[in-house]
Amino acid sequence: MTPKSPKNNAILNGVLPVDKEEGESSFSAVRRVRRILGVKKAGHAGTLDPFATGLLVILLGQGTKLSSFLMGGRKRYLANLRLGCETDTLDLTGQVVRTRPVPALDPEEVREKTQRFLGEVEQAPPAFSAVKYEGRRAYELARQGVFMALKKRTVTIYRLDVLSLDLPDLTVVVECSGGTYIRSLAADLGEALGAGAHLRALRRLSSGSLNVEEAVPMGDLVRETAAAVLMRNVISLKDALPEVGEYCVDEEGARRIRNGYQPGLNALAEQGNLCEGRLKVVKGPELVAMAEVVERADKEGKQLRILRVFH
């Protein structure tokens, strides 16, 4: 199949999974894709630090409106921890602030202690993070030597599997909720093991239904073919969230929803799509809106609340 021209705006409203290289920031990866494809509007769903590699979900055009929906899905990471050494950034890019001897840890003991982190856990964001404190990014304050006690957040760790223990290094696979800081998890795990730790390497393996195996390796792009390769891998807005159910409308229904109409119980029941949670409102191959099923204000049934509209 011959790839369409990068000037085709319909194609450029979509989602592009790429495999980010080490040393490149998420922003520079987005800027590079935007330049190759000639698009004006682009963003990403979930930042990867420059030292990290793996899946970066780039959003093109109207795809930027899907950011919050894509970022809310489960994430899976391959993480390597260096025990016995703590840094101010909680990763290999920071300054060493403490070293400790690493005890002769038994693999079964390590596995047992990692399992204590499963489920909902409270986690403090790293001082060097994009979390805002009184209107300023935490990393801006940290670079000035100002370290604030950032508010803890509740995240969920679904899986935490030990792949290898080669002291002082520990390699794990983490499956977690969106918003989880793997750097903070590494520091907390190091503390539980009595040695402290920092994150030495990180690779994002998946985000929601997207996997790094299906992503475009940024390091393999060649100038002459880069645009065609990227275009072949753009996922349409409608197909970007395959796990979300669909509510189909016709041309008139799409027009009304785009003009502010909120479908009621009868419209939902006709399609048998009355359910809990979020739905995609679609017209043929088009994504019209993201919505959710909610209780009506009068408590007489349910209706569809439109969350974001796509044009």
Position 9 in a domain: no
Position 158 in a domain: yes
| Total number of domains constituting the chain | 3
Question: pLDDT exceeding 90 applies to what percent of the chain?
Answer: 69
pLDDT for 5 equals 43
Position 6 in a domain: no
Catalytic pick from 19, 49, 91, 188? Answer: 49
Position 7 in a domain: no
Query: Quick one: 113 and 157 in the same domain?
Result: yes
Tens digit of each residue's pLDDT (9 = 90 or more) over 8-33: 444 589 999 999 999 999 999 999 99
Tens digit of each residue's pLDDT (9 = 90 or more) over 100-124: 999 999 999 999 999 999 999 988 7
Structure-token pair, residue 56: 């970066």
Query: Quick one: 178 and 127 in the same domain?
Result: yes
Instruction: Read off the CATH number of the domain in which 269 is found.
Output: 2.30.130.10
Position 1 in a domain: no
Query: Quick one: 94 and 159 in the same domain?
Result: yes
Position 65 in a domain: yes
Of 183, 218, 236, the last residue of a domain is 236
Position 8 in a domain: no
Query: Quick one: 199 and 82 in the same domain?
Result: yes
Structural domain harbouring 140: 75-207
Nearest C-alpha neighbor of 201 from the set 240, 159, 172, 229: 172
Position 2 pLDDT exceeds 60: no
Position 3 in a domain: no
Instruction: Read off the CATH number of the domain in which 49 is found.
Output: 3.30.2350.10
Of 219, 236, 253, the last residue of a domain is 236
Query: Quick one: 133 and 230 in the same domain?
Result: no
The answer to whether the beta carbons of residues 18 and 29 sit under 8 Å apart is: yes
Question: In whole angstroms, what is the distance from residue 82 CA to residue 297 CA?
Answer: 53
Of 154, 187, 207, the last residue of a domain is 207
Amino acid at 148: M
Cis peptide bond upstream of 168, omega within 30? yes
Nearest C-alpha neighbor of 308 from the set 272, 249, 257, 264: 257
Tens digit of each residue's pLDDT (9 = 90 or more) over 46-77: 889 999 999 999 999 999 999 999 998 899 99
Quick check: is 169 catalytic?
no
